[in-house]
Each structure stands twice: as structure tokens, then as C-alpha cells.
């Protein structure tokens, strides 16, 4: 937790009695002897030792300060020094606790007000520390959850066990520092249970795993309550909190989790077949003798970061307008052109840096998906072996916020209805443990995320039958295999014989499809009977900037995202034919691709449309050709919302200010093709929108 110089914000100087020493003990337990930043943080605490500490303890604290100072230097055995420091601080704490006598009962003042045991109201000075406490607590919970998922495969992994123990131990100290009673008590009981495992007094197993994960869930809820109470209000005790504390306490005292842990607040038993899903091990602490050029980080409020990106976007627009100004491009202004070109390079570098600040790794969404996989596997009685690849691949934070929920829909469906039970898999000649693959890679300017499993695959006959029964597909219409698979993305469509509390194959997939489209991405699905299914998501790395192809349609300029473009074709004689009932088709190396003239789709004049170009775009898994009058070039544009004046316009994902000061509409190719197939013109506010200038 970040320190502060302001004593009014709750520095150790305002804490009375033995609490500063207890805080010091927790800080020492959490410190990394090879991390200079954490050591300097500990040194700073010594400079703020309260005057209330007994004088006879100060010599020992001075000795402890020297040990910390030694670790910040060229200490060849920092781990041993840290152990000596912990032992010394422990002696100081015990000395103070021994001398501290409880006050006489008669001297105890009556409380000013009765505080409900079901809620707690933070003090004003504690609220000031919440902005530091909340994100750091979240980081510790994330590390603990990742380590617990690692223990699913390696229950004796000492590093993972220590990570979980230290997370709860540190949370206890942090929560105690800001006087959060519910968080402190829960962290204390969870830490006590993990201490038994750490000291090998208890064997780690499914029961301890369930209790630990539930402790993390409840702690997350408490942290959210703390955030809500940052300004005012109280923190209420979560439902099932007392029951969870009782389970943790009994397990610690008895040395065994008996009876088997169950969901807090739920009477449904856990299935017999546990999941073997695992997440990657948490990052290890820097080792002695390693790279001394450690990266440092600083927390920045997201609203300030977004304002910076928006400001840089405006700068890019202004730079584009200057670069394309006739005065700059005039042949007799060579010196000015060179200076503007240099400025253009600087602005581009600044733009790339600003966009990179909003990039976050996929590790967070993957970890949430890993936890969901474990929970669903337990509820459905299935064993799952999870394989994660590309956790360090980065994507815009705003994309991740939506991607989190989309991945949860996909992995829940994959486990609950994609994978078979162990018995079914053995009967099919497979390993009883299902294989689930979750990967993320960068391809060009986009992020590709895949969810793949080796389950039963999708039954196309069953999908088509359900679609015909619901009147979604005419009885006389024949569909290709890919078209049948795309039926699962229709709202509410499902082939499940019964609805489970988790998912149904197809239930929620319409939400996934819509979410991907809102992110200007693509979603493809493939499946083979008896071999499993694969969902492939292709997303832009950032929503702030679009790599676009500027096209002319009539006297207007539009932008097509390059992500959706497969290729461009200048049609030759004999390549285009007209088929009754199907319209114009392009013969592209033997593949018949439907043609849609953008002038017609956009409701513009169709005069003089004989010459032009065809842009092949992806419509789900099938291509389509959009007829445009001309290509004006490729350009990165800053995406802007159309605002409340125009609202959501079908076929349009946003707008961008072009170099001439006019606004170009960014078309959504998949939506444009969908509207074209239904013969519905895109209701674009063309004249009103494109006549606007900066």
C-alpha cells in the first residue's frame, strides 16, 4: 500500500499502542529482500515510528533498522538477514504485548453509540487511505487466486502455497491498518488455515482449495463494498460470512476439512469429479544477483489516462489537417514540408506511446476464465485440463472490459455442454480428462483469441432441426455446414435438452456475437463431431484508433476497417454475372462471391457506376464484395462517436475527422452486408454528417 507523508491521512504516528509494531510485523512478513522499492518503503516506516512506542524497545528497533539498511546494500545473504529481522521484530512485539495490561473494567468508558455487528462504518481518516488500499488489495487477491488454481495441478508447490499465505497475511495487515474489521478477520482465519498447510501440518486438497477460493470471493465482495463506502456509508457483512469464518476456524482447529466444503449459502453438494483446471504460476520475486534494472510503476487514474488519449487523438487530427494543407504541400514550400514531416513523425510516436499506456495483458481475463472453468467443472462433474497460451499479449483496456464477459460465456458453454463427462469420454475412447485450450496472439494489427475443446462437437442435424421447428429456417431451404453453425448465434437459440444453471450450447452466444460486433471484431466457429469445437475471436488492439481504407462512393468519403478487408479486386470482363434470385456474383478464382453496390446500399445516386473497384470483406465466415468508386488510400483515423444527435446508426460504427476537416463515416462491413441482404438501405445521415467541418 502506498505510503503518504501527510500524517492526517493515517501515517503510523496516529496509531496508538502496539498497533504500529503489529503493522511492522506484517510489513516485514510481506517484504521481498531483493526488491529495493519494498525495502525503501520499510525504511520509511522506521522514520515515522510513533512516540507512543515504549522507550526500551527503541534499541531493538534501531538494530532492526540496521538490518534493513544492510539488505539495501550489498548483502550477500538477504534471505538470512530478513529472517533475523523477522525474529527481532517478533521479540519487540512480544515484549510490548507482555507489558501491556488490560485496563480495569470500571475504567472502561461506555460506548457513545451501539454499532451493529452486521456492518461497520469506516472513520474519515481511514477513508483517505482507501484509494491506496483498494487496488493493492486487488493485486494480492489476484495473485492468490492464480496460485490456488496452480495448486489444482501441483498441490505441493511450495511457491504457490507461500504466495497464497503471504497474500492473506499481507491483506490482514493492510486491512488492520485502515481498521476494516470484516476484511481483517476473514484474512486472519484464511491465513491460519494456509499456515497449517505451509507448515505441512495439513495436506492441501479440494476442501482447502474450496475454502480458500471462497475466502477470495468474499474478500473481493468486501473490497467492492469498501470502494462503495469510500465517500460515505457503511460496509455490510456479506451473506454467509459467519458460516465461512466458522468453516475456516473448524478446519484450522481440527486439522482437516470435515465435512467437505460447500458453497456458502448453498446446500448443493460438490460433485465427486473435481476439475484439474490450472492457471499459470504467479510471477516469482526477483532473485538475488538478477537484473538490477527493475521496472517501476505508478498508478494513474483511468479518467486521466482516457483524457490523455483523447487529447493525443485531437493532436493527431490537427496534425493530419496541417500535413494535407495546400500551403504545406505546395512545391515551393520544401523547407516547411520537411519541418511538418518531422513534426508528423513526433506526433505519431506520441500517439503510439499514448495508446500503449492503455494496453493491458490478457492475463487478467484468462485468470477469470480459469476460475470460471474450475467452478463449472465442479458443478457439472467433469475433469478439465486447461492449457493457456499468450497471457502476455496486450490489448486496449476498454476492449478487455467487454472481453472478460465474452470469454466467460464461451468457456462456460465449452465445459458445460462442449465437453463430455469422464464416463462418456471413456466410452468414446477418449481420456477421461477433457482438454480445453485458451490462447491469445497478435496477428497484424489485431488480437486473436481462441477457445478450443476436444469435446463431442456440435450436432449440425440437431441444430438445423431446432431451427426449422422454431421457424428460423424455411423447410425447403438448404444450408451449408458453416451456415448451420452460425445459427447458434441467434438470440435464445439452444439445442440443449435441458437448461442448466450454468449455460446451454447457444445460450448466451448471441451476446458474444453482439459484443464482438460492438468491438468491431469478428467471430468464427468451427466444429467436428467427436473432436470438439473452436471459437475464434478477432479484435482490434485499440478502439481509439482505426486502421482504415478510405473509399469514395459517389461524392462522399467513407472508411472501411482494414481488419475486415481480405483483398481488393478491379473486375475484368467476364468476372461478374447476374443470377436470378441471387443478384450479381463475382467469380473469384472459382468462388462465387455476392456483390453489393455501396451506392445502392447507402441510398446514393447510381449514375455513372460502371467503373469501380470491389473490396472483398469477411461476413462471418463467408466473403462478400462491396462495390466502391475508388480507393483514396490507407490512413489511421481517430474513432469518434456519432453522439446523441444521430445515435446508433445501423451499418456505422463511428466517425473520424479527415485531413480536409470533413467527417468520414466508419462503416461496419458485416452490418452493411446484412442490411444489403435484406434489401434495406442503410439510413445514413450522409449529407448532414459529411458536410460537417472542424
622-677 per-position pLDDT tens digit: 788 999 999 888 877 877 777 666 666 777 878 888 877 788 888 888 778 878 87
Average pLDDT rounded to a whole number, residues 166-179: 87
Indicate if the pLDDT at residue 134 is higher than 90.
no
Q: Cα separations (Å) of 258 from 378, 457, 466?
A: 18, 39, 46
What pLDDT does residue 534 have? 94
CA-based angle 5:126:122, to the nearest 5?
A: 175
What number of residues does the chain have? 694
What pLDDT does residue 419 have? 92
Q: Cβ distance 391 to 361 under 8 Å?
A: yes
pLDDT digits (tens, 9 = 90+) for 480-513: 787 888 888 877 676 665 555 554 444 468 788 8
Average pLDDT rounded to a whole number, residues 587-593: 85
pLDDT digits (tens, 9 = 90+) for 437-452: 999 998 766 789 999 9
Cis geometry, peptide bond prior to residue 602 (ω within 30 degrees of 0): no
For residue 380, the 8-state DSSP code is H
**CA–CA separation, 449 vs 390, rounded Å?**
9
Q: Helices in 381-455 by DSSP H: which ranges?
A: 397-413, 422-427
What pLDDT does residue 13 have? 34
Average pLDDT rounded to a whole number, residues 572-598: 83
Instruction: Name residue, grid cell 438445423.
Output: 464
The residue ranking higher by pLDDT, 248 or 542, is 248
- Assigned C-alpha cell, 498: 435441458
Counting Cα atoms < 13 Å in the Cβ hemisphere of 561 gives 33
**CA–CA separation, 462 vs 627, rounded Å?**
37
Indicate if the pLDDT at residue 303 is higher than 50.
yes
Q: Cβ distance 376 to 502 under 8 Å?
A: yes
pLDDT digits (tens, 9 = 90+) for 399-443: 888 888 889 889 988 998 889 999 999 999 999 999 999 999 987
pLDDT band at 683 (very low <50, low <70, confident <90, very high): low
Instruction: Name residue, grid cell 484509494.
Output: 131
**CA–CA separation, 351 vs 639, rounded Å?**
13
Residue 64: partners with Cβ closer than 8 Å, 6 or more residues away: 46, 85, 88, 89, 92
Give 50's strand partners.
Answer: none
- Residues 462/464/468/470 CA torsion (nearest 10 deg): 70
Residue 493: partners with Cβ closer than 8 Å, 6 or more residues away: 466, 467, 470, 472, 487, 506, 507, 509, 510
The residue ranking higher by pLDDT, 532 or 471, is 532
pLDDT band at 681 (very low <50, low <70, confident <90, very high): low
**CA–CA separation, 130 vs 227, rounded Å?**
7
Q: Which range is most confident: 25-29, 166-170, 590-594, 608-612?
A: 166-170
Range of weakest confidence among 133-147, 203-217, 557-571, 632-646? 632-646
Cα dihedral 511, 514, 518, 519 sign: positive
Average pLDDT rounded to a whole number, residues 8-12: 35
Q: Helices in 295-396 by DSSP H: which ranges?
A: 302-323, 326-329, 334-357, 363-380
pLDDT band at 81 (very low <50, low <70, confident <90, very high): confident
What pLDDT does residue 341 have? 86
Range of weakest confidence among 16-20, 265-269, 484-488, 613-617? 265-269
The residue ranking higher by pLDDT, 301 or 350, is 350
The residue ranking higher by pLDDT, 101 or 462, is 462
Q: What is the DSSP string of 601-619?
A: HTT---TT-SS-EEEEEEE
- Assigned C-alpha cell, 412: 462456460
Give 664's strand partners.
Answer: 656
Residue 74 CB neighbours (<10 A):
7
As a whole number, the mean pLDDT across the chain is 77
Q: What is the DSSP string of 484-523?
A: HHGGGGSTT----SS--SS--TTTTHHHHHHHHHHTT-EE
Average pLDDT rounded to a whole number, residues 589-601: 86
Q: Cβ distance 561 to 669 under 8 Å?
A: yes
Indicate if the pLDDT at residue 12 is higher than 60.
no
Range of weakest confidence among 105-109, 308-312, 528-532? 105-109
- The verdict on pTM exceeding 0.75 is no
pLDDT digits (tens, 9 = 90+) for 376-402: 888 888 989 999 999 999 888 888 888
Give 536's strand partners.
Answer: 450, 524
Residue 483 CB neighbours (<10 A):
16
Q: Cβ distance 523 to 513 under 8 Å?
A: yes
For residue 46, the 8-state DSSP code is H
Q: Cβ distance 537 to 449 under 8 Å?
A: yes
Nearest to 206 by CA among 269, 163, 249: 269
Q: Cβ distance 435 to 385 under 8 Å?
A: yes
User: Phi then psi for 500, rounded to 5 degrees?
Assistant: -100, 170
Amino acid at each position: 500500500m502506498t505510503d503518504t507523508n501527510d500524517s492526517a491521512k493515517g501515517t503510523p504516528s496516529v496509531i496508538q499502542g502496539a498497533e504500529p509494531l503489529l503493522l511492522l510485523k506484517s510489513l516485514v512478513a510481506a517484504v521481498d529482500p531483493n526488491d529495493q522499492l519494498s525495502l525503501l518503503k520499510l525504511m520509511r516506516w522506521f522514520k515515522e515510528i510513533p512516540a507512543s512506542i515504549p522507550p526500551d524497545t527503541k534499541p531493538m528497533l534501531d538494530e532492526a533498522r540496521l538490518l534493513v539498511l544492510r539488505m539495501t546494500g550489498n548483502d550477500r545473504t538477504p534471505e538470512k538477514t530478513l529472517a533475523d529481522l523477522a525474529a527481532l521484530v517478533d521479540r519487540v512485539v512480544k515484549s510490548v504485548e507482555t507489558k501491556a495490561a488490560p485496563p480495569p473494567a470500571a475504567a472502561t468508558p461506555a460506548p457513545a453509540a451501539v454499532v451493529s455487528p452486521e456492518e461497520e462504518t469506516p472513520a474519515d481518516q481511514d477513508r483517505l487511505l482507501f484509494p491506496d488500499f483498494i487496488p493493492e488489495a486487488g493485486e494480492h487477491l489476484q495473485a492468490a487466486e492464480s496460485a490456488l488454481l496452480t495448486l489444482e495441478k501441483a498441490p505441493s508447490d511450495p511457491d504457490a502455497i507461500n504466495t497464497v499465505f503471504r497474500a492473506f497475511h499481507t491483506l490482514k495487515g493492510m486491512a488492520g491498518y485502515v481498521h476494516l474489521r470484516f476484511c481483517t478477520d476473514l484474512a486472519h482465519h484464511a491465513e491460519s488455515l494456509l499456515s497449517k498447510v505451509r507448515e505441512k501440518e495439513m495436506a492441501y486438497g479440494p476442501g482447502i482449495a474450496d475454502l480458500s477460493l471462497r475466502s477470495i470471493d468474499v474478500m473481493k465482495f468486501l473490497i467492492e463494498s469498501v470502494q462503495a463506502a469510500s465517500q460515505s456509508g457503511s460496509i455490510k457483512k456479506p451473506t454467509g460470512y459467519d458460516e465461512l469464518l466458522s468453516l475456516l476456524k473448524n478446519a484450522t482447529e481440527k486439522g482437516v476439512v470435515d465435512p467437505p466444503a460447500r458453497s456458502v449459502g448453498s446446500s448443493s453438494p460438490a460433485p465427486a469429479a473435481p476439475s484439474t483446471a490450472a492457471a499459470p504460476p504467479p510471477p516469482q520475486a526477483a532473485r538475488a544477483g538478477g537484473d538490477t534494472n527493475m521496472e517501476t510503476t505508478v498508478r494513474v487514474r483511468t479518467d486521466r489516462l482516457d483524457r490523455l488519449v483523447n487529447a493525443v487523438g485531437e493532436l493527431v487530427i490537427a496534425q493530419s489537417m496541417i500535413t494535407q494543407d495546400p500551403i504545406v504541400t505546395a512545391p515551393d514550400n520544401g523547407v516547411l514540408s520537411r519541418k511538418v514531416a518531422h513534426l508528423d513523425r513526433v506526433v505519431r510516436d506520441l500517439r503510439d506511446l499514448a495508446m500503449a499506456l492503455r494496453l493491458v495483458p490478457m492475463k487478467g481475463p484468462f485468470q477469470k476464465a480459469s476460475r470460471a472453468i474450475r467452478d463449472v467443472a465442479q458443478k457439472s462433474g467433469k475433469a478439465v485440463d486447461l492449457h493457456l497460451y499468450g497471457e502476455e499479449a496486450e490489448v486496449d483496456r476498454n476492449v478487455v472490459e467487454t472481453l472478460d464477459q465474452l470469454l466467460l460465456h464461451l468457456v462456460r458453454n465449452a465445459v458445460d455442454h462442449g465437453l463430455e463427462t469422464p464416463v462418456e469420454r471413456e466410452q468414446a475412447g477418449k481420456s477421461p480428462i477433457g482438454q480445453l485450450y485458451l490462447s491469445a496472439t497478435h496477428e497484424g494489427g489485431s488480437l486473436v483469441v481462441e477457445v478450443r475443446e476436444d469435446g463431442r462437437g456440435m450436432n449440425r442435424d440437431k441444430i438445423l432441426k431446432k431451427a426449422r421447428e422454431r421457424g428460423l429456417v424455411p423447410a425447403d431451404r438448404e444450408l451449408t455446414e458453416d451456415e448451420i453453425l452460425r445459427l447458434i448465434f441467434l438470440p435464445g437459440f439452444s439445442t440443449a435438452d435441458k437448461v442448466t444453471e450454468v449455460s446451454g450450447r447457444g445460450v448466451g452466444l448471441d451476446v458474444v456475437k453482439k459484443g464482438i460486433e460492438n468491438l468491431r471484431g469478428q467471430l468464427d466457429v468451427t466444429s467436428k463431431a467427436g473432436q470438439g469445437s473452436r471459437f475464434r475471436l478477432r479484435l482490434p488492439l485499440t478502439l481509439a484508433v482505426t486502421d482504415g481504407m478510405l473509399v469514395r462512393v459517389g461524392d462522399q468519403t467513407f472508411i472501411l476497417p482494414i481488419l475486415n478487408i481480405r483483398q481488393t479486386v478491379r473486375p475484368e470482363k467476364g468476372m461478374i454475372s447476374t443470377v436470378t434470385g441471387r443478384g450479381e456474383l463475382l467469380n473469384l478464382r472459382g468462388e462465387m462471391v455476392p456483390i453489393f453496390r455501396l451506392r445502392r446500399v447507402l441510398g446514393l445516386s447510381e449514375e455513372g457506376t460502371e467503373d469501380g473497384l470491389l473490396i472483398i470483406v469477411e461476413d462471418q465466415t463467408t466473403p462478400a464484395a462491396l462495390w466502391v468508386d475508388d480507393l483514396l488510400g490507407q490512413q489511421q483515423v481517430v474513432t469518434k462517436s456519432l453522439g446523441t444527435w444521430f445515435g446508433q446508426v445501423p451499418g456505422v460504427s463511428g466517425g473520424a475527422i479527415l485531413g480536409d476537416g470533413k467527417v468520414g463515416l466508419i462503416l461496419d462491413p458485416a452490418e452493411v452486408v446484412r442490411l444489403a441482404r435484406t434489401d434495406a438501405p442503410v439510413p445514413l445521415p450522409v449529407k448532414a454528417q459529411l458536410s460537417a467541418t472542424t
